[in-house]
């Protein structure tokens, strides 16, 4: 593991050069990797591990949409696709990739198959960090590890197929075998990580919940809506408001930031844009910092976890979620977005 300086701070990082795929295969050559759940992270991780030459099986409840999705992706019942309990029994590494609510429901089944020496793998620190709410307390004689790709399973898979990688964090909660580090890094390389940086379960879930509610999803959606509504109130057409708010950011400016950073993007815009952005960024930062402080406090207190668990266990959750997403989808800004995307060359 190398130490690399990020913004003046040394961090522990593992790259593919230090831990190549061949080494990962050697570390896991005698392991059977059971992927539980075939929703958000499951498909991307399972398919990429399989393509990279690891022994992988999928555990899923038969008869549901996710089971059918797994079959459509080429997993075969009785060969590498099993009901959850049988998959748990067969696996030496159990990748627990069900939803947070699904993990709570499945935990009694998973726990009874965690025999000594197995590894319990997460891609989210939620279940372990908030174990007083989830009840997920692993036995002491298994490794408990985490690899959290910094993006969706869909992005992980797409980048792998393009010959690229999605960066991931990794953590070790419990090293019962003395092999937890090699196991977790091998799995991280196996799922297609670009590089892996060290964290712990609590930091992972705190940063993840803050990010999802903040810049990655909640804040960006709210800022989009606020600017779009401002432009519309002042007489701008839906097309103009959407292009100036969403399309230019996602299709033009963010790729420039991704390539070389915010300063480079500024340097490649007009003087008028540069000056306005440099002046107004301070006002926006000062306006939203208190909101982020409130958000982080809500995450660290366990309130966000409590809300997520309660909502996720509501039998009508899926129906209510569909209604909320429909409201978002049917709003003028995103209806306009649908039309704009159709006009892209």
- Segment 258-308, tens digit of pLDDT: 999 999 999 999 999 999 999 999 999 999 999 999 999 999 999 999 999
Residue-range definition of the domain harbouring residue 50: 2-199
Give the strand order in the sheet containing 143-149.
2-6, 9-15, 193-198, 166-174, 143-149, 119-122, 93-96, 33-36, 56-59, 81-82
What is the distance between the alpha carbons of residues 119 and 115, in angstroms, rounded to a whole number?
Answer: 9
**Is residue 209 domain-resident?**
no
What pLDDT was estimated at residue 92? 98
Is the same domain home to 44 and 153?
A: yes
Distance CA 337, CA 85 (A): 44
d(CA 306, CA 303) in angstroms, rounded, equals 5
Residue that has been written with the tokens 């540069």 in this structure: 274
Residues 171 and 303 in one domain: no
* Model pLDDT for residues 50-62, shown as the tens digit of each residue: 999 999 999 999 9
User: What pLDDT does residue 4 have?
Assistant: 85
Q: Does residue 257 share a domain with residue 192?
A: no
Are 9 and 146 in a shared domain? yes
Considering the domain architecture, whether residues 96 and 57 belong to the same structural domain is answered as: yes
Within the chain, which residues score under 70 in pLDDT? Answer: none
Check whether residue 105 and residue 21 sit in a common domain: yes
**Torsion 218-224-230-232 (CA) sign:** negative
Q: What is the pTM of this model?
A: 0.90
Residue 195: CATH number of its domain:
3.40.50.720
258 plus 182 within the same structural domain: no
Question: Of 199, 230, 247, at which residue does a domain stop?
Answer: 199
Given this model, what pLDDT does residue 313 score? 86
- 49 and 142 fall within a common domain: yes
Find the distance separating the first CA and the last CA of the chain, reported in whole Å: 44
| pLDDT reported for residue 304 | 96
Same domain for 226 and 170: no
Decide if 236 is catalytic: no
| Nearest-angstrom CA–CA distance, 67 and 152 | 20
Domain count, the chain: 2
**Predicted local distance difference test score (pLDDT) of residue 203:** 96
Which of 113, 124, 236, 282 is an active site residue?
124
Asked, for residue 208, whether it belongs to a domain, the answer is: no
Report yes or no on 257 lying in a domain.
Answer: yes
Indicate whether 151 and 15 sit together in one domain: yes
């Amino acid at each position: 593991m190398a130490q690399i300086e990020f913004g003046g701070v040394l961090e522990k990082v593992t790259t593919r050069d230090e831990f190549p795929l061949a080494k990962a295969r050697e570390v896991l050559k005698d392991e059977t990797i059971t992927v539980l759940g075939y929703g958000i992270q499951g498909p991307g991780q399972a398919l990429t591990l399989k393509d990279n030459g690891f022994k992988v099986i999928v555990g899923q409840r038969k008869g549901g949409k996710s089971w059918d999705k797994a079959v459509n992706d080429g997993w075969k019942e009785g060969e590498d696709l099993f009901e959850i309990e049988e998959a748990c029994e067969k696996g030496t590494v159990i990748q627990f990739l069900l939803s947070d609510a699904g993990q709570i429901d499945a935990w009694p089944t998973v726990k009874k198959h965690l025999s000594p020496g197995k590894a319990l793998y997460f891609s989210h620190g939620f279940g372990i960090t908030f174990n007083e709410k989830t009840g997920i307390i692993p036995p002491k004689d298994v490794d408990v590890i985490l690899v959290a790709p910094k993006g969706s399973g869909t992005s992980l898979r797409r980048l792998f197929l393009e010959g690229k990688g999605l960066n991931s964090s990794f953590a070790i909660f419990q090293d019962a075998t003395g092999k937890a580090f090699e196991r977790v890094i091998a799995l991280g390389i196996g799922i297609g990580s670009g590089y892996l940086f060290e964290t712990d379960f609590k930091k992972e879930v705190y940063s993840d919940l803050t990010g999802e509610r903040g810049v990655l999803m909640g804040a960006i959606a709210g800022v989009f809506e606020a600017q779009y509504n401002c432009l519309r109130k002042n007489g701008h057409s839906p097309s103009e408001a959407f292009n100036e708010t969403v399309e230019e950011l996602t299709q033009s400016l963010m790729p420039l930031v991704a390539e070389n950073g915010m300063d480079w993007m500024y340097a490649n815009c007009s003087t008028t844009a540069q000056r306005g952005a440099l002046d107004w960024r301070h006002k926006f930062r000062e306006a939203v910092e208190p909101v982020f402080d409130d958000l982080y406090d809500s995450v660290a207190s366990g309130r966000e976890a409590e809300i997520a668990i309660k909502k996720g266990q509501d039998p009508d959750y899926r129906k209510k979620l569909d209604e909320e997403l429909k409201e978002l989808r049917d709003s003028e800004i995103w209806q306009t977005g649908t039309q704009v995307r159709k006009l892209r060359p």
